[in-house]
Structure 1
Amino acid sequence: MDSSLVISWWAALAGLAIAIILILRRLNPVYSLILGAIIGSLLGGANLVQTLDILIKGSQSVMGTVLRVLAAGMLAGVMMESGAADTLARAIVTKLGDRFAILSLALATMVITAVGVFIPVAVLIVAPIALEVGKKMHLSKLALLVALSGGGKAGNIISPNPNTIAAAKGFNLELSQVMIADFIPALFALLATVIIASLLKNKGTAILDADLENLTSDPKTKTFPSLKSSLVTPVLAIVLLLLNPIGSIFHISFLTKLNLDALYVLPIAAIAGALAMKQGNKIKDFAKSGIDRMTDVVLILIGAGTIGATITTSDLPAKIILLINMGHIPGVLLAPISGVLMAAASASTSTGVILATGSFSKAILGFGVTPLAAATMIHTGGIVIDQLPHGNYFHVTANAMHMNIKERSRAILYEALVGATAMIAATIMYGFLHL
């Protein structure tokens, strides 16, 4: 691509706006992003050949992330299809008991999301348990949904999943670095979830007997693996991912030279877990399930790469820096704000983080923000309002909890408060205190 080519800032912004409008109009997100990139490039002064070069450059820039996302699919497939995630959820709820019902449900969703299960799937897994517990303890559906969704958001930012991978690789970081940095903000989100859901336990509709019919996660009709064998995959993945950071902290040269990337770690942990659960003969099925779930994410990554390249080829990052400096606004706030806005536009944490890192990383780093701080703030910003009705998460969770659209919409504000708690914690810690 012509290195001297600079697209006009307004054209790049127009391309991004067009892509977002098309997504909101329910056009396929991948086509929306690519079309936005093409229009933005052409409006900005690029010719047809230069526009194609921009698109190719953008798609090539995300290939490292694509490979790691595909690797994460293997882990997600094993955890979801083997029954391991169900086992973990039920173990947590049983251990904490009815007295701590809201905490147990939030923590269960947090843990199974944190070990690589997609947040909509995590809610689907825990929802039947939540309905059973909620009926017994007289908890409202609204309180239960906030507990599950809030716990899922907390787990989502410390999980080896596509949005964490995108946040890390968008700033050339190791996956484990972002997972560790997000841990304290995740705890703040969990605390906020428990407090908010507890205040809502008598608000909203009650659980009816009809809600308990045909529960999809009934332990009487399905055989689940043991707790010990279910823990093999997540524990092995976490241990292997943390070897390099531990080596750096304690100056153990052998560990620092290992460089065990998520690309290797996640499939290895998944296969080891499947063997431990004596389900080695199902590895092909687990792999197929994982790759099926990751296909949409990979395609969106490619689309987001094209619009990201359009923006970074323009003078928009420089204009943003100038505008923020003129307004005497702390430049560090661009990171969480971009995460919030892009995730809200796409109603997806993964897509939001991918868009924010690809489009605004250059401008954010231009304010002197460290890559780790930028990744953490964008990532936590991405979980604030990603639950809007134009995304699938809103509808999947509504169906899981047997709620109508009006009832489900009531939870959006409370879920946003949970996400905002994590974002504010991350922004204070890494943006202003520089921890």
Structure 2
Amino acid sequence: MLSMIGLIGGLALLIFLTMRGMNLLIVGPISALFVALFSGMPLFPQLAEEGAANFVGNYMTGFSGFVTAWYLMFLLGAIFGKVMEDSGAADSVSEYIVGKFGMKYAVLAIVIACAVLTYGGVSLFVVAFSVYPMALSLFKQADLPRRFIPAALAFGSVTFTMTSAGSPEIQNWIPIEFLNTTPYAGWEVSLIVAVFMMVFGYWWLKRMITKAVAKGERFVSRESDPVNEKRTLPNPWMGLIPLLVVLVIAFVFHDSLKQSALIIALLGGVIATYVLNRKYFKNFWEAISEGTLGALIAIGNTAAVVGFGGVAKAVPAFQTAVEAMTNIPGSPLIGAAVAVSVIAGMTGSASGGQVIALPLLAPHYMDMGVNPEALHRVAAISSGALDSLPHNGYVVTTVRAICGESHQDAYNAVGAVTVIVPALGVVLAIILFSFGVGI
């Protein structure tokens, strides 16, 4: 009982303190300590039996493991975004889009840019780094409230593309190992759900922005923003080509190198930006330096939350919660969706929710005769719902480290398009599979 109180209380504390604007590098360990104390977990390795769970060991294993796996991707992603900004390539692309389509398509342009990169294989963790400079420029020219930039970036990255059939993102590939399916499992239902999520989510996002503008909100510049003085900009295609380079390289090497393909892809994007736009840079090496500092802050914030998940997964209450959710009565697809989504919410990770739930769900539901393609697609889509609660690493990184916003200002819109919209998509997928679509 105490362990469950600690688990729920620790998660609530993490979300509350995050929403209050506290530093994640402090909030993460404090919340994890709350979980550990209520579960009677030893605080230090020296106080635990050899190999047994302990607060410091589990927290730092989660923290350092994430940094080890993602540091180079964060670093190159942040640098890529900065060189796109410093060279004027991002501004050139944004001005071209506005000139062709008008200001009313500024938000759609950001969503599409994120969607193309995400579906093309660029990790959603670093897509925001690449697109943010263009988003900032577009919002400024269109005079839209900048607090909605995180929602636009997140909507294009972690909703209808991340978990769709054919997506190279890991959230679409994890079920393959447990269900012996393919990345295109349930593609008919996936296509319908993706279209629904894109149309409904974009309509909702635009509606929130329109209401804010009607109340008098406008774009407010900051001293830290890049100065858009009158300068000669590169040809828009010289700004688009580096994005295409990232997309193509990631696609070509994804099967052979998996997530390591992003290292080559992003490095290729940085090199392409420099080669094509070198005469337009204000200070190339300063951009590199600023990107490096930004990457360190971003990965530190994210790893702090991952460390919390490392402690939470080790307490008895977590296993009790997993067993309860995997035995929900009714349609197996409903049970699978709830289990994956809730566990993803607990750990603040879509992939974490799948990795923990599927080893238990897959054999159980496969023995019951559940269609593996339907289970694959429902597990993938549901992993992208509650994972985007305020403490999620991607949310923290995008809202704070990249966009410089507070959770109080930006999260309501982010939550609407990354939690509620995918949750509705899960419901639609289950209904369609129940009627035999795609089976």
Which bracket does the TM-score occupy, shorter chain normalised? 0.5 to 0.7
* Pair 319,312 (structure 1): closer, same or farther in 2 beyond 3 Å: same
Question: What TM-score do you get using the length of structure 1 for normalisation?
Answer: 0.65
Partner of 2:301: 296
Q: Is the aligned partner of 1:154 residue 2:156?
A: yes
Q: Aligned letter for 1:13?
A: M
Partner deviation per Cα, 1:271-306 (whole Å, 9 max, x = no partner)? 222222227975964555434422232343233123
| Equivalent residue for 1:420, pick from 415, 418, 423 | 423
* Pair 151,269 (structure 1): closer, same or farther in 2 beyond 3 Å: closer
Q: In the alignment, is the contact (CA less than 8 A) between 1:15 and 1:40 conserved in 2?
A: yes
Cα distance in 2 for residues equivalent to 1:425 and 1:301: 30
Cα distance in 1 for residues equivalent to 2:73 and 2:209: 36
* Pair 73,211 (structure 1): closer, same or farther in 2 beyond 3 Å: closer
Please list, as runs of the form range in 1=range in 2, the aligned pairs for 1:244-283 lying within 5 A after superposition: 244=255, 259-263=256-260, 265-278=261-274, 282=285
Cα distance in 1 for residues equivalent to 2:66 and 2:183: 15
Deviates more, 1:301-310 or 1:363-372: 363-372
Deviates more, 1:22-31 or 1:275-284: 275-284
Q: Is the aligned partner of 1:353 residue 2:354?
A: no
* Pair 38,65 (structure 1): closer, same or farther in 2 beyond 3 Å: same
Q: In the alignment, is the contact (CA less than 8 A) between 1:30 and 1:299 conserved in 2?
A: yes
Q: Aligned letter for 1:276?
A: A
**Percent identity of the aligned residues?**
13
Cα distance in 1 for residues equivalent to 2:171 and 2:412: 28
Q: In the alignment, is the contact (CA less than 8 A) between 1:106 and 1:148 conserved in 2?
A: no
Partner of 2:383: 379
Q: Aligned letter for 2:135?
A: V
Q: In the alignment, is the contact (CA less than 8 A) between 1:58 and 1:308 conserved in 2?
A: no
* Pair 178,62 (structure 1): closer, same or farther in 2 beyond 3 Å: farther
Partner of 1:255: none
Q: Is the aligned partner of 1:235 residue 2:248?
A: yes
| Equivalent residue for 1:226, pick from 236, 239, 256 | 239
Partner of 1:205: 213
Q: Aligned letter for 1:379?
A: S
Q: Is the aligned partner of 1:20 residue 2:11?
A: yes
Q: Is the aligned partner of 1:49 residue 2:40?
A: no
Cα distance in 1 for residues equivalent to 2:334 and 2:162: 24
How far apart are 1:20 and its partner, in Å?
0.7
Partner deviation per Cα, 1:116-149 (whole Å, 9 max, x = no partner)? 436598567514412422x5xxxx75xx966872
Partner deviation per Cα, 1:188-228 (whole Å, 9 max, x = no partner)? 33222333345567534348697365693565467676322
* Pair 394,414 (structure 1): closer, same or farther in 2 beyond 3 Å: same
Partner of 1:106: 111
* Pair 53,412 (structure 1): closer, same or farther in 2 beyond 3 Å: closer
How far apart are 1:261 and its partner, in Å?
1.9
Cα distance in 1 for residues equivalent to 2:195 and 2:221: 34
Partner of 2:203: 195
Partner deviation per Cα, 1:343-379 (whole Å, 9 max, x = no partner)? 7678xxxx24366346544444344475844651343
Partner of 1:132: 141
* Pair 75,227 (structure 1): closer, same or farther in 2 beyond 3 Å: same
The count of corresponding residues between Structure 1 and Structure 2 is 385
How far apart are 1:396 and its partner, in Å?
5.0
How far apart are 1:262 and its partner, in Å?
0.9
Q: Secondary structure at the match of 2:274?
A: coil
Deviates more, 1:210-219 or 1:377-386: 210-219
Considering only aligned residues, what root-mean-square deviation do their CA atoms show, in Å? 5.2
How far apart are 1:154 and its partner, in Å?
3.2
Runs of at least 5 residues in structure 2 that lack an aligned partner in the other structure: 18-25, 164-168, 279-283
Q: Secondary structure at the match of 1:22?
A: helix
Q: Secondary structure at the match of 2:257?
A: coil
Question: What TM-score do you get using the length of structure 2 for normalisation?
Answer: 0.64
Cα distance in 2 for residues equivalent to 1:394 and 1:77: 12
Q: Secondary structure at the match of 1:268?
A: helix
Cα distance in 2 for residues equivalent to 1:227 and 1:66: 30
* Pair 408,226 (structure 1): closer, same or farther in 2 beyond 3 Å: closer
